[in-house]
Structure formats: C-alpha cells, structure tokens
C-alpha cells in the first residue's frame, strides 16, 4: 500500500550508503549512520523553498491576527459569513494556509517510510508489520532496493557495539538476528547509544520550538490555540521523544537528531535573512522620510499646500491667457465694426492743403 513511499526512501538511503561505503567501508556503522543523516538532508533540501514559504505564511498569519479578531468578533454568531470573510481576507493578502503545513505533511510519510525500511532489515519479530522470519532467512532476503548482501552489511554495522536497527525494549528473540553478524548486543550496549541520542533529540526539539515561539508577535502568542500549540511544542513533544525513545530504533533516533540539527540551522538562516529584509525596508522608509524633511533652520513646507498653490497658479495663468485672448478678439471685432459703419476715413490734413491752393 505504501510502497510508493518505501521504494524512494530505500533508494535514497541505498545511494548514500554506497557513497560513504567507498570511504569508510560498507559494513561500518558510521557509513550507515551518515547514510541516514544525508537522507534527512536530501529531503530537507528539497523542502527548503516550501519551508521558507511556511515561515512567511506564519508571519503573515501573525500580521493578520488583529483583522481576524475583528472578523471573529463581528460575526461571532454567524459562522458561515465569518468563514466567507476569512477566505476573502486571505485571498486579498495572498495567504495560503496549506503552505504552513506542507513541509510537515511531507516529512511524516518519509519518517514512516524510513521507520519501515529500517525495521525491515530485521523481520524476525512477530508483532504488527513483522514477518516472523528465521535469522537465516532474514539475512538472505532482500529489503526493497537493498540486496541480501546489503541486509547482512546492515546487520553487521555497529555504533559503539549497538546495531542501528536495535532498540532498548527489543525482545531477546529479535536480537538473535544479529548473532551471526557481529554477535548479539546487550541492553547496556544499546542503552549507552540510545539514551544520549534521546536526550539530544529532546533538547533539540525543545530549542527549535523555542526559536519559533520567540519570533511570535504578542497578539499571536495571546491566541488561545497558539498558546496551546506553544506548550505542546516546547514541552510535550520533547518529552514524548525521550519517553518514546526506548521503543525507537537507533537509526530512527539518528534521523530525529539530524532532522532537528538541520531545522535549527535552517531557521537561523531564514530568520536572519527575513530580519535583514525588514531592516532594509525600515532603512528605506527612514531615508525617504529624511529626504522629504526640511533642512535644519528652514521653515517646514506643507507639501499638500505646495501642490494646491501650484494648481491654483496653473488655473490662474490659464484663466489670464483665456481673458487676454478674449479681449484681443473683442477689440478686433469692434475695430472692424467701426470701419464698416463709417466707410473710409478722410486724412486730417486733406482740407488744409486745398485751402492753401485756393489762396
């Protein structure tokens, strides 16, 4: 049913095992541990852009909290209208709630796929999802993309004497799968590796959650739902890792630690970049404000008044031009009318010249 997840996960794990096997040897516990770590890094690298969108979506959601509260208060008795108004608000601001959940939704099937693939290296158990194989049949049966030789290599791999597929509460019957491939491990060997990983995983989960909570706005932190989630992520989830650690394989604990290490570094990178963007925006606003501010000692000028004066001058000049043009046209018309009514005018000195001639 979930082979669409198991095969890709096993393929990525197989690739990194072959890559590190050339350096440290295929049966080395370090090779298998690094293969699991880089499986995590490969996944998180693919999900980097969705993670950035998730962070921006979360920040945008926090900025919209005041408007959301107003809608909730306004339509508290009409849930249908409130839902429509919420969708309208999200659409106006380009808010997509799915982007806030996508990275987590993708990581869950990968975690389950890795858990199943690592567990399938030891199929001697009789519990849920186990096949009840004999140690010999288990060691000579392929595991998805891994051949029988790869299965034997995994059973031989040790980290300080503990197999990667072992866990503290594993029954003694399942531990027999490792007997012919490096000897049967003791509970002490497994606990000495698993307990430190459990503590590191729990602390890393707590500090990653704290980094996210510290960036929340006071309005978002005051939200009852956000407050509950903050408490769960800060205390319940880390405690759950340490309580459930004895039931998890060492390989899964390695996955958890690597995932938290990547998350911690990625958060600081993305948050640092977003803080830099915010500082640049503030600097541009201050620079624009400084350009529009009056010089020291100068009288402040109202920009709106300046615009109104300029528009008034333009209007008056337009009216003056139109008036002068109208006066000129009117005078021209009057002169023409006089010439038409009076005919040709006699020169003023014409009568005097004739009088002189008569004399």
Number of C-beta neighbours around residue 138 at 10 A: 24
Which residues of the chain register pLDDT less than 70? 1, 62, 93-103, 129, 219-221, 293-359
Residues with Cβ within 8 Å of residue 316, at least 6 apart in sequence: none
Number of C-beta neighbours around residue 176 at 10 A: 15
Percent of the chain that is helix, strand, coil (3-state, to 5): 75, 0, 25
Beta-bridge mates of residue 146: 143
pLDDT of residue 85: 78
pLDDT of residue 30: 94
Question: Tokens 């107003």 map to which residue?
Answer: 70
Question: Tokens 């990194």 map to which residue?
Answer: 16
Count Cα neighbours of 172 within 13 Å in the Cβ-side half-sphere.
0
Q: What is the Cα–Cα distance from 117 to 124, expressed in whole angstroms?
A: 14
- Could you give the C-alpha distances from 67 to 73, 85, 211, 225, 333, in angstroms and in order? 10, 10, 26, 17, 68
Q: At what angle do helices 3-24 and 102-119 cross, to 10 degrees?
A: 70
pLDDT of residue 314: 56
The C-alpha R_g of the chain, in whole angstroms, comes to 41
pLDDT of residue 339: 47
Residues with Cβ within 8 Å of residue 60, at least 6 apart in sequence: 93, 95
Q: Exposed (0-12), middle (13-18) or buried (19+): which is 5, by Cβ within 10 Å?
A: middle
User: What's the predicted TM-score (pTM) here?
Assistant: 0.72
Q: What is the Cα–Cα distance from 142 to 201, expressed in whole angstroms?
A: 31
Give the torsion through C-alpha atoms of 135, 137, 139, 141, to 10 deg.
Answer: -150
The residue among 129, 128, 154 whose CA lies nearest residue 141 is 154
- The predicted-structure confidence for 148-192, as pLDDT tens digits, reads as follows 999 999 999 999 989 998 999 988 888 999 999 989 999 999 999
Give the pair of three-digit tokens for residue 106. Answer: 């993708």
Q: What is the Cα–Cα distance from 318 to 332, expressed in whole angstroms?
A: 21
The residue among 49, 31, 26 whose CA lies nearest residue 266 is 49
């Amino acid at each position: 049913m979930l082979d669409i997840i198991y095969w890709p996960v096993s393929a990525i794990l197989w690739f990194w095992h072959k890559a590190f096997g050339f350096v440290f040897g295929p049966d080395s516990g370090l090779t298998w541990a690094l293969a699991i770590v880089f499986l995590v890094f490969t996944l998180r690298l693919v999900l980097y852009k969705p993670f950035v969108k998730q962070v921006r979506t979360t920040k945008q959601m926090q900025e919209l909290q005041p408007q959301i509260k107003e809608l909730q208060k306004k339509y508290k008795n009409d849930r249908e209208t409130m839902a429509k108004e919420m969708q309208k608000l999200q659409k106006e601001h380009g808010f997509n709630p799915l982007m806030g959940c996508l990275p987590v939704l993708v990581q869950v099937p990968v975690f389950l796929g890795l858990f199943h693939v690592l567990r399938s290296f030891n199929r001697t158990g009789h519990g849920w999802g186990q096949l009840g194989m004999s140690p010999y049949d288990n060691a000579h049966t392929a595991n998805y993309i891994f051949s029988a030789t790869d299965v034997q290599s995994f059973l031989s791999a040790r980290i300080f004497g503990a197999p990667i597929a072992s866990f503290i509460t594993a029954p003694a019957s399942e531990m027999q799968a490792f007997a012919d491939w490096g000897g049967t491990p003791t509970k002490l060997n497994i606990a000495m590796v698993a307990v430190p990983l459990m503590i590191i995983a729990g602390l890393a989960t707590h500090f990653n959650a704290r980094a996210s909570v510290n960036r929340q706005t006071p309005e978002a932190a005051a939200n009852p739902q956000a407050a509950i989630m903050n408490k769960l992520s800060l205390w319940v989830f880390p405690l759950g890792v340490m309580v459930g650690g004895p039931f998890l394989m060492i390989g899964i604990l390695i996955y958890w630690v690597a995932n938290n290490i990547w998350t911690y570094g990625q958060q600081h990178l993305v948050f640092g970049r977003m803080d830099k963007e915010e500082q640049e925006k503030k600097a541009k606003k201050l620079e624009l404000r400084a350009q529009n501010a009056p010089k020291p000692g100068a009288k402040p000028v109202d920009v709106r008044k300046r615009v109104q004066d300029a528009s008034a001058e333009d209007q008056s000049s337009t009216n003056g031009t139109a008036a002068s043009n109208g006066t000129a046209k009117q005078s021209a018309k009057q002169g023409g009318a006089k010439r038409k009514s009076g005919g040709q005018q006699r020169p003023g000195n014409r009568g005097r010249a004739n009088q002189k001639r008569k004399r």
